[in-house]
Structure 1
Amino acid sequence: MGTFIQLVIDGLSTGSIYAALALAIVLVNQATGLINFAQGGLAVLSAYVAYACLGAGVPLLVAVLIAVALSFVLGGLIERFLIRRFEGGDPDTAVVVTIGLLTLVTGITAVIWGYNNLQFPSLFPLTSVNLLGAVVSVRSLATTATIVAIMAILQVLFMKTKLGLALRAVADNPRSSALSGLPVGRLLMVGWGLAAALGAVAGALVAPQLTLTPGMLDGALVYALAAVILGGLDSPIGAVVAAWAIGVLENLVAVYVPLIGHDLKIAVPFVLIVIILVIRPQGLFGRKVVVRV
């Protein structure tokens, strides 16, 4: 039982890494209707900004807050001067632009800071506690709790606030929203800015666990996209639950299914995607889209 609990908690901690990026992807999609493949690269860049602030003697928490604020501004500027040129056109073109942006941001990060592994300090204590016979890291518990809090905040934002409803309206129909008096341009900038700020939080949570490198989140981004598809593009709760499910199932399958083991556990989320898309194409928590003809 102790081993099982350990695997589940470790899976939740790993899933929280995927969930942090998945939430940022959902946020951009809710605000603009696009999937931002550059989210991982922007999160890594923000982590490097926080690292540079630490090198200048800034306290850790203040450095992370500075990175979050700068990421919000950067996200808004990217939407205003790059993404907006492709909005309203072919969605596939905008997706390719975000992939190109990921390559650009990763390259710039590597040119400035190099490819060496850097140690980023943890926001949470590195001590462990005993939980039902399993030794659990306080950092893992705190990371999971942070993701739960962010998920709840986003759910309230989109469902209960005027800003969230305006962001959803702009994503669904920008032209009608503009005719209704909504400042579409500013709302799109806010949506991208919030997603970039959330990515900065994700980078600060992940960097201490993976070591800081330009490609730190490349693998996690794949899992995050899988979580978004499984949970639903319009559901923060669904993205987090799916990310946790992926993390836990990976751990359990690797240990309890010898045929798969650690080498093939990466196939688990993709098998889940196929099953879910066949049974429920909109995702576990997504809304079914009804088109009037």
Structure 2
Amino acid sequence: MQQLVNTALGGLTLGMVYAAFALALVLIWRSTRVVNFAQAPMAMVTTLLALELIEGGASFWLAFAVALVSGLVLGAVIERVVVRPVEGKSEINAVILTLGLFIVLHAAAALLFGNGVRSFPAPFGVRGTEIGGTTYAITGFGMFTIVAVLVTMSLLVLLFRFTDLGLRMRAAAHEPEVARLLGVRVGGMLTLGWALASVVGSLSGILIAGGDLVNPNYMDSVVVFGFVAAVLGGLDSPLGAVVGGLLLGVALSFVSGYVGSQLVALTALMILIAVLTLRPGGLFSTTPARRV
């Protein structure tokens, strides 16, 4: 029974990690209609910057704040300098550009921070929680991760559903010409979308790294699982990203614990194929899937 509970708790924490990254993908999609495959290396760069500060003597929370602010700036600069020239053209151009950024940012991080494996500290305990003499597989940092993801999801829901700013961002992404006629600064909204998505991505980078080992490649596998979680829940839904991450995390945790870790990637692929076949828009999609 304890193994079952610990496997479920491990899946809960793992699912929240995937949900954190999926939220960044959902935010960039809702605000710009671009799937940003460079989200992972962008988060990796800000996380390694935070680690440099921590190793230099700064507190975890100061480094955490610097990572979020640097993510905001990095997202805005990339949109203005790199992505802006291809906006308004074929959607595939922006996707290919983000794949190129994926490679460039990895190379830049290796030059700036090195390729060595380093330990990223956590502000809370990374040992299991003991209740009634039994140790359960939920750590202090895991609890922090759960709370941080739920708060981020709530803020995104409030932004897009109940604020004028969220409405302008969605209008700029879906109908830029109409939005311009209505007085919306489309360029500014797209920049803001990239900047906010980069902040959420930076948060996911810190949550994934906390109490673990990092290098410039530490988030590469998260791209796959985070994307599956976002598609599972629906790229238009912050709530769907969290639910998708939880479902994926728990499923993969049970596969790893009871079947074999070598089948984890295959299981994720099967889940992705099933969702794209049965419900292409995702479980919580609010718009119909586009069919050609």
TM-score by length of 1: 0.94
Alignment gaps of 5+ in structure 1: none
- The count of corresponding residues between Structure 1 and Structure 2 is 288
Contact 1:230–1:284, Cα closer than 8 Å, also in 2: yes
Q: Percent identity?
A: 33
CA offsets 1:120-161 (integer angstroms, 9 cap, x no match): 111323343235855121221221121111111111111111
> What are the superposed Cα offsets for residues 1-26 of structure 1, whole Å, 9 maximum, x if unpaired?
22111111101111122111111111
Output the CA distance in 1 between the equivalents of 2:242 and 2:220. Answer: 18
Are residues 64 and 255 of structure 1, via their aligned partners in 2, closer, same or farther at CA, if it must alter by over 3 Å? closer
Q: Could you tell me how far 1:117 is from its partner in structure 2?
A: 0.8
* 8 A Cα contact 2:179 2:186, kept in partner: yes
2:267 paired residue number: 268
Deviations 1:42-101 (A, max 9, x none): 000001111122233222101110121121011111101111111111111110100100
Q: Are 2:174 and 1:172 aligned?
A: yes
Q: Is the 8 A contact 1:19 1:224 kept in 2?
A: yes
Deviations 1:155-196 (Å, cap 9, x if unpaired)? 111111111111111111111111110111111111111111
What is the aligned partner in structure 2 of residue 142 from structure 1?
144
For 1:101, the equivalent position in structure 2 comes to: 101
CA contact (8 A) 1:44 1:200 kept: yes
| Cα distance in structure 2, aligned partners of 1:88 and 1:254 | 43
- Cα distance in 1 for partners of 2:3, 2:127 equals 19
Tell whether the 8 Å contact from 1:210 to 1:216 is kept in structure 2 after alignment. no
The structure-2 alpha-carbon separation of the partners of 1:172 and 1:55, relative to structure 1 and needing over 3 Å to count, comes to same
Q: Distance in 2 between matches of 1:2 and 1:153?
A: 35
Structure 2 gaps, min length 5: none
Asked if structure 2 preserves the Cα contact closer than 8 Å seen for 1:235 and 1:286, the reply is: yes
CA RMSD of aligned residues (A): 1.6
In the alignment, the residues of structure 2 paired with residue 142 and residue 96 of structure 1 have an alpha-carbon distance, to the nearest angstrom, of 35
Q: Is the 8 A contact 2:44 2:202 kept in 1?
A: yes
Which residue number corresponds to residue 222 of structure 1? Answer: 224
Q: Does 1:59 align with 2:62?
A: no
CA contact (8 A) 1:12 1:248 kept: yes
| Cα distance in 2 between the residues matched to 1:123 and 1:24 | 23
| Distance apart, 1:37 and its partner CA | 0.2
Please list the CA deviations of residues 182-227 of structure 1 after superposition, one character each: whole Å capped at 9, or x if unmatched: 1111111111111111111111111124412001100011101111
Matches within 5 A, 1:1-293: 1-130=1-130, 135=136, 136-256=138-258, 258=259, 261-289=260-288
Paired AA for residue 93 in structure 1: N
Deviation larger for 169-178 or 55-64: 55-64
Counterparts of 2:287 and 2:199, CA distance in 1: 29
Farther-moved stretch of structure 1 (50-59 vs 164-173): 50-59
Query: What is the rounded CA distance, in whole Å, between the counterparts of 1:123 and 1:220 in structure 2?
Result: 22
1:71 aligns to what SS in structure 2?
Answer: helix
**Whole-angstrom distance in 2 between the partners of 1:275 and 1:134:** 36
Q: Which amino acid aligns with 2:268?
A: P
Contact 1:18 1:223 in 2 (8 A): yes
One-letter amino acid of the counterpart of residue 151, structure 1: M
Could you tell me whether the CA contact under 8 Å between 1:119 and 1:211 is conserved in 2?
A: yes
Q: Distance in 2 between matches of 1:126 and 1:158?
A: 34
With over 3 angstroms needed to count, the CA separation of the structure-2 counterparts of 1:79 and 1:251, relative to structure 1, is: same
- Aligned partner of residue 130 in structure 1, secondary structure: strand
Give the partner amino acid of 1:33. Answer: R
